[in-house]
Structure 1
Amino acid sequence: MKENKYDDPVFFAKYARMDRSRFGLKAAGEWRTLEPMLPDFTGRDVLDLGCGYGWHCAYAAEHGARSVFGLDLSEKMLAVAQKEHAAPPIEYCRMAMEDADFADGSFDVALSSLAFHYVADFGALVRKTAHWLRPGGDFVFSCEHPVFTAEGSQDWYRDENGKILHFPVDNYYMEGERQAVFLGERVTKYHRTLTGYVGALLSNGFMLTGLAEPQPPQEMIDAIPGMADELRRPMMLILAAKKQ
């Protein structure tokens, strides 16, 4: 069984209190960048890898998807998805994305939101996704930015008064496991370089169609204390690709 931090009661309770958990896509700082990078869902079969609460599954269904298959390892996350984001074209399944096995050409679109930094072997998952997608299929995902994952701790360096000095970037080219702190809890994540992400796509028959480093929208910067500091370093990366 892969690490399943989201079923830890303490961690999940903290995650459930986040704005993006309570208010959905519009409360996610990256959403305004991600939404226009999404493909047309009309009449298409969609796979959501690490679907969490099912926000993106619901979005695909609302925008005309023929079928949506959301998989996630967390029983607690899927319980919320089933309760709050159930719809006729959506099917949810509890499964580690690394263990998924679908027939070749099962889907037209593969999505993933902030899940791939929990995957140890990203290249293997991209190879499988390439097989699952039909020719011309779209693959769009967000993940934590390599600058954000490189050093591991994912916290600012501060002076003796708690003022932010800078964000640490170290061991950038040393891909692999990192012990991070997220919501005050220790979580295992995996760092890879930008070359690692893009190279895995290109070497598995994908053509890169989009790349973005999303910034929080101005209204979040104005309304949320400390949000302006998110402009000091990239936290997320979004990539869009098409199977050739």
Structure 2
Amino acid sequence: MEFRGASVYDQTDFFSNYMKRRNRQDSPNNAIEGPIIFELIRSIQEISILDLGCGDASFGKELLHLGAKNYTGVEGSQQMVEAARSNLLEQNGTIHCETMESYDYPEEAFDLVTSRFAFHYVSDVNRLFQAVYKTLKENGRFVFSIQHPLTTSSFASKQSGDKRGNWIVDDYFHEGERKEPWIDQVVVKYHRTIEQYFIALRQAGFTVLDLREGTPKRERFSSEEEFVRRQRIPVVLAFSCVK
């Protein structure tokens, strides 16, 4: 069986195993992607934030503690929504149990739209980027990360297990659906090149301000072995854009 969008996170065993991996100090989320996102976001004092594919909203909780005015999360997994609402108790945050595609984006409502490791689950990013552009205020910012396209082009090297020692890059310029073996399940992702993401952003009206490929930094890893391994291939691609 294969899972699309956020549906895999409603599988109890998958959810539990994912959260354990996600919370490891040396996970790419914590050692590489997180610091980049905060660097690109910069000041969040008194701003309204929309987070697409918000997961358990631990990111939203942190943003509110750092001074954000309010936080809105959109998440398609019921299990993640329950965790998110628990995380945001007594916080100025709202969670919508919707997919990124089905959410009704209000016009010019947010100062910042974020998304972390979620857009590679979306089949039509052109339409999604247009919706994000509509929901941002003038001069609003759009900061997001995705799984690096070098790692989504082919999942053939994952047949030997999750902790890859080598990576196969194949069919890079063939945009479209990919099926990844992940935590004892098969999830559907959508591969696009860096160029295709850039073009989609420009066509939606955005100005791209910055791009990062997640260069690992030694001080963010507890393990020398994991730091050396993460220097071999990029696993993160992050964009910072403005309306």
- 2:75: which partner in 1? 72
- 1:47: which partner in 2? 50
Aligned equivalents of 2:4 and 2:29: distance in 1?
A: 30
Q: Deviations over 1:207-241 (max 9, x none)?
A: 11111011343145452754422211111101000
- 1:192: which partner in 2? 192
Aligned equivalents of 1:163 and 1:104: distance in 2?
A: 43
- 2:21: which partner in 1? 18
Q: Deviations over 1:52-110 (max 9, x none)?
A: 01122112212222221001001111211222343431111110011111221011110
Alignment check: 8 A CA contact 2:21 2:27 kept: no
Aligned equivalents of 1:146 and 1:89: distance in 2?
A: 35
- 2:34: which partner in 1? 31
TM-score w.r.t. length of structure 1: 0.88
Aligned equivalents of 1:222 and 1:22: distance in 2?
A: 7
- 1:110: which partner in 2? 113
- 2:86: which partner in 1? 83
In the alignment, structure 1 residue 152 sits paired with structure 2 residue 155: yes
Q: Secondary structure at the match of 1:110?
A: strand
- 1:123: which partner in 2? 126
Alignment check: 8 A CA contact 1:143 1:238 kept: yes
Aligned equivalents of 2:85 and 2:27: distance in 1?
A: 15
Q: Secondary structure at the match of 1:155?
A: helix
- 1:56: which partner in 2? 59
Q: Secondary structure at the match of 1:70?
A: strand
Q: Secondary structure at the match of 1:170?
A: coil
Aligned equivalents of 1:163 and 1:69: distance in 2?
A: 35
Q: Using a 3 Å threshold, how does the CA distance of structure 1 residues 104 and 129 change in structure 2: closer, same or farther?
A: same
Alignment check: 8 A CA contact 1:53 1:80 kept: yes
Aligned equivalents of 1:119 and 1:21: distance in 2?
A: 26
Structure 1 unaligned spans of 5+: none
Output the amino acid matched with 1:79.
E
Q: Secondary structure at the match of 1:61?
A: helix
Alignment check: 8 A CA contact 2:81 2:97 kept: yes
Aligned equivalents of 2:34 and 2:106: distance in 1?
A: 31
Cα deviation, residue 14, structure 1? 1.0
Q: Using a 3 Å threshold, how does the CA distance of structure 1 residues 148 and 21 change in structure 2: closer, same or farther?
A: same
Q: Using a 3 Å threshold, how does the CA distance of structure 1 residues 28 and 92 change in structure 2: closer, same or farther?
A: farther
Output the amino acid matched with 1:231.
Q
Aligned equivalents of 1:196 and 1:98: distance in 2?
A: 19
- 1:182: which partner in 2? 182
Q: Using a 3 Å threshold, how does the CA distance of structure 1 residues 79 and 225 change in structure 2: closer, same or farther?
A: farther
Aligned equivalents of 1:87 and 1:31: distance in 2?
A: 24
Aligned equivalents of 2:102 and 2:15: distance in 1?
A: 23
- 1:203: which partner in 2? 203
Output the amino acid matched with 1:215.
T
TM-score w.r.t. length of structure 2: 0.88
Q: Secondary structure at the match of 2:43?
A: coil
User: Higher relative CO (CA 8 A, sep ≥ 6), structure 1 or 2?
Assistant: 2
Structure 2 unaligned spans of 5+: none
In the alignment, structure 1 residue 237 sits paired with structure 2 residue 240: no
Q: Secondary structure at the match of 1:69?
A: strand
Aligned equivalents of 2:46 and 2:181: distance in 1?
A: 41
Moved more, 202-211 or 10-19: 10-19
